[in-house]
């Protein structure tokens, strides 16, 4: 069954041969996502799931600067949330789930900076191919946010506990070469070869048994599916934390291009 291709505002969805190419298209915000972007990404992944032509999905960002920089912090500073959405919900947890559950390989083609929730997306893809100039890291604690679901627990499965804690606690930015060394990505290629390389991976996988691949993906996932429970709790916590004075200080500081002052919020019990 061929599924109709669809027009979106924040996402470009195309089917080329066996590949569904899903491009986050907000280059002026370094491909940061707002609630509408997340809705559209979920619809795009559903289209790719149902389309028998599609044997693998390539997730990438528009332009050469950014893959995705996570939540749109300027939107958050303005309205305290990630803006309007189809169902009046910010469905990032559902996006994480469909990237994992779609029974076809998902390839991140990391064409630039992958930071914050954008980095979590590349981590959740089955494999990642990076441009030489791509950069990687988590940013939540800088801007009053965190992903205590797949973003932390699954990252630790990929790079190990020590490295995952370093990545989250220090919010450093890593080069593509460092990402390859810590097994955060599968391959690094020159920027102008990235999409051709990703498409090559799709055409190779398209020759294999789709049912075998489906079972294998579900088998890999089964080992970490319990992390979806943490993810649900983390998203509830984030709903509350991101609008707190501490959370908003992070978002406002980013929008105002100043260092955040979290000192008034040191209070543990
Ligand atoms: C990514 C950077 C390290 C790049 O730095 P660089 O110096 O190369 O570029 P600039 O900083 O000059 O950025 C260029 C241009 O893009 C704008 N921009 C960049 N990122 C964002 C963003 N995330 N939102 C909005 N706009 C962005 C930037 O302002 C510049 O615009 P100008 O008009 O000034 O030219 C660096 O940009 C950076 O650190 N970006 C912020 C990264 C970040 O904090 N991301 C959000 C983390 S929180 C998050 O992702 C998140 C995820 C979830 O799943 C959630 C779930 C539930 C609730 C909350 C969640 C959540 O907060």
Q: Which residue is it, tokens 């088998």?
A: 219
Q: Give yes or no for a contact between 110 and 122, defined as CB atoms under 8 angstroms apart.
A: yes
137 annotated as a binding-site residue:
no
1 inside domain:
no
26 inside domain:
yes
Structure tokens at 4: 């109709």
Give the largest CA-CA distance in the chain. Answer: 58
Once rounded to an integer, what is the mean pLDDT over residues 243-260?
Answer: 96
19 inside domain:
yes
CATH code at position 176:
3.90.226.10
Among 24, 27, 28, 30, the mutation site with the greatest number of ligand 1 atoms within 8 A of its Cβ is 30
268 inside domain:
no
Once rounded to an integer, what is the mean pLDDT over residues 24-35?
Answer: 98
Q: Above 80 in pLDDT, residue 53?
A: yes
243 inside domain:
no
Q: Above 90 in pLDDT, residue 4?
A: no
Once rounded to an integer, what is the mean pLDDT over residues 221-248?
Answer: 95
150 inside domain:
yes
pLDDT for res 83: 96
Read off the pLDDT band of 169 (50, 70, 90): very high
β-strand partners of 61? 24
DSSP E strand boundaries for 118-195: 127-131, 135-137, 174-175, 187-189
230 inside domain:
no
Among 63, 71, 135, 138, the mutation site with the greatest number of ligand 1 atoms within 8 A of its Cβ is 71
Full 3-state SS string of 230-258: HHHHHHHHHHHHCCCHHHHHHHHHHHCCC
Q: Say how many domains are in the chain.
A: 1
Determine the structural domain holding residue 135 and report its residue range. 11-191+209-222
Mean pLDDT of the chain: 96
174 annotated as a binding-site residue:
no
248 inside domain:
no
């Amino acid at each position: 069954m061929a599924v109709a291709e669809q027009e979106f505002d924040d996402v470009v969805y195309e089917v080329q041969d066996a590949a569904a190419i899903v491009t986050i298209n907000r280059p002026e915000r370094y491909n940061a996502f707002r609630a509408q972007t997340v809705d559209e990404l979920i619809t795009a992944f559903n289209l790719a799931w149902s389309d028998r032509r599609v044997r693998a999905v390539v997730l990438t960002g528009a332009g050469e600067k950014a893959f995705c920089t996570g939540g749109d912090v300027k939107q958050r500073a303005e309205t305290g949330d990630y803006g309007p959405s189809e169902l009046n919900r910010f469905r990032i947890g559902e996006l994480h789930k469909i990237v994992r559950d779609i029974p076809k390989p998902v390839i991140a083609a990391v064409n630039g900076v992958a930071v914050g929730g954008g980095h979590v997306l590349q981590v959740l893809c089955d494999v990642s191919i990076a441009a030489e100039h791509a950069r990687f890291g988590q940013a939540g604690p800088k801007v009053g946010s965190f992903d205590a679901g797949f973003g932390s627990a699954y990252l630790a499965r990929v790079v190990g506990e020590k490295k995952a804690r370093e990545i989250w606690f220090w919010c450093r930015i890593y080069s593509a070469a460092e990402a390859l060394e810590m097994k955060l990505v599968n391959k690094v290629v020159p920027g102008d070869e990235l999409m051709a390389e990703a498409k090559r991976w799709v055409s190779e996988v398209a020759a294999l048994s789709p049912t075998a691949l489906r079972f294998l993906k579900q088998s890999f996932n089964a080992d970490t599916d319990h992390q979806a429970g943490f993810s649900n709790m983390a998203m509830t916590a984030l709903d509350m934390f991101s609008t707190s004075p501490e959370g908003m200080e992070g978002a406002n500081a980013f929008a105002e291009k100043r260092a955040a002052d979290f000192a008034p919020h040191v209070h543990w019990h």
